[in-house]
Amino acid sequence: MRVLVTGGCGYVGAHTVRELSAAGHEVAICDNLSTGHRPFGEGYRLIEADIANQDVLAKALDGVDAVLHFAASAYVGESVVNPRKYIHNNVESALKLLDAVLASPARLFVFSSTCAVYGVPRTLPIAETAPRDPVNPYGATKLFFEHALAAYSVAHGLRSVSLRYFNAAGAHPDGSMGELHTPETHLIPLALQAALGVAPPLTIFGNNLNTPDGTCIRDYIHVSDLGRAHVLALEYLAQGGRTTCLNLGTGEGTSVAQIVLAAERISGRKVPYSYADPRPGDPPALYADSALAQSVLGWRPQFDISAILSTAWNWELRLQAMNHRL
Ligand SMILES: NC(=O)c1ccc[n+]([C@@H]2O[C@H](COP(=O)([O-])OP(=O)(O)OC[C@H]3O[C@@H](n4cnc5c(N)ncnc54)[C@H](O)[C@@H]3O)[C@@H](O)[C@H]2O)c1
């Protein structure tokens, strides 16, 4: 299939582009490079533009069968202090993208959603049927877009899969790409960079939570496993699959303290850290029930937490050798 990938120069988008290409799909990327990296798009047709640019999108969508939409602003904390940015990019600009898609023949759409649509879960593991009650503007914008997709599916026949990722982590196994956010807010790169001495000591938010070791539990899913799930979602839609929302996680919770120990084991270095108060609205534990994605897509995560840490470590060493410049 011919696919347009928005945000294909970002972390999850770029890994998915590799998986799409390996599966034989023809990929073009639309990215404004606001947080993405041009080298991640090398070897593919890169349309350097904003998703809100309807003229460019109309041309980019010519002959395209499906759109995979990663482009978004994706910092929970920033969304709390600057909700306008999130409503603008993740809703207003994203709806313009949908207008361009509806004006084109493409009727298949895969959307990067998030477990943040659930807010603070009442039960674990979290299934797709759990109440959606986001506790920050980021999650609210993603939920709004899911609703828009559901409505456009009924009204306009735009069939979609919204993939609710838990915590994307790890790096490409061949060492060619990985996580590089500025600022970095994700635990695993921060722990590994602290071990290397290129980032401050890790701050662990909460050590007295209602979890077995008192630290936060999250569900870390390897970015290449996410990429493969997108390929399967695309193929599901191409075979006539109905609009749906699916969780993508391993179903295994890992605590911050366990991540620190694994980071020390894999790096052979100490991870310096200190404790701070838990962040408001940060649930003590989040992990997915991914049974639906497994049955609908036939998807199984292939990377465990050790593989996540070791691929991330290889990538950090490479970034350090390149002075964090791509
Ligand atoms: N990383 C995670 O753990 C995680 C978890 C759940 C959901 N997600 C979602 O996955 C998607 C990708 O996340 P990521 O971590 O790869 O982020 P990222 O910042 O690395 O990638 C986002 C990409 O989109 C581009 N972009 C942003 N706004 C754009 C616009 N208006 N027009 C064109 N390009 C634009 C950026 O330049 C970047 O290349 C996001 O939608 C995010 O909300 C990520």
The answer to whether 303 touches 170, Cβ cutoff 8 Å, is yes
- The answer, yes or no, to whether residue 325 has pLDDT greater than 80, is no
- 112, 143, 149, 246: residue to mutate for ligand 1 pocket, most atoms within 8 A of CB: 112
pLDDT of residue 15: 98
Which position has the token pair 């998915």? 16
pLDDT in tens, 103-156: 999 999 999 999 999 999 999 999 999 999 999 999 999 999 999 999 999 999
* Confidence class for position 224, pLDDT limits 50, 70, 90: very high
The set of residues, in sequence order, having a beta carbon less than 8 Å from that of 246 and lying 6+ positions away, is: 128, 161, 162, 163, 164, 229, 233, 290, 292, 293, 296, 297
138, 152, 236, 273: the catalytic one is: 138
The backbone torsions φ and ψ at residue 113, rounded to the nearest 5 degrees and listed phi first, read -100, -165
What's the rounded Cα separation, in Å, for the pair 188 and 179?
Answer: 10
Q: Catalytic annotation on 11?
A: no
User: What predicted TM-score, i.e. pTM, was given to this entire model?
Assistant: 0.97
Angle (CA) 83 115 316, round 5°: 85
The answer to whether 8 touches 14, Cβ cutoff 8 Å, is yes
Q: Which residue has the least CA distance to atom 34 on ligand 1?
A: 31
The secondary structure of 191-209, three-state, reads HHHHHHCCCCCEEEECCCC
The set of residues, in sequence order, having a beta carbon less than 8 Å from that of 323 and lying 6+ positions away, is: none
What is the position in ligand 1's atom list of the atom closest to the CA of 116? 6
Nearest to 37 by CA among 9, 69, 56: 9
Measured in angstroms, how far is the CA atom of residue 315 from the centroid of ligand 1? Answer: 19
pLDDT in tens, 181-217: 889 999 999 999 999 999 999 999 999 999 999 999 9
pLDDT in tens, 239-262: 999 999 999 999 999 999 999 999
* Confidence class for position 326, pLDDT limits 50, 70, 90: confident
Is any atom of ligand 1 closer than 6 Å to the C-beta of 309?
no
Is any atom of ligand 1 closer than 6 Å to the C-beta of 170?
no
Span 57-64, average pLDDT: 97
What's the rounded Cα separation, in Å, for the pair 207 and 251?
Answer: 22
Burial bucket for residue 26 (CB in 10 Å: 0-12, 13-18, 19+): middle
pLDDT in tens, 287-297: 999 999 999 99
Domains and CATH numbers, the chain: 2-168+220-248 (3.40.50.720), 187-218+251-321 (3.90.25.10)
Measured in angstroms, how far is the CA atom of residue 289 from the centroid of ligand 1? Answer: 23
* Confidence class for position 324, pLDDT limits 50, 70, 90: confident
What's the rounded Cα separation, in Å, for the pair 127 and 251?
Answer: 10
What's the rounded Cα separation, in Å, for the pair 267 and 183?
Answer: 22
Span 20-36, average pLDDT: 98
Q: Please state, rounded to an integer, the average pLDDT across all residues of the chain.
A: 97
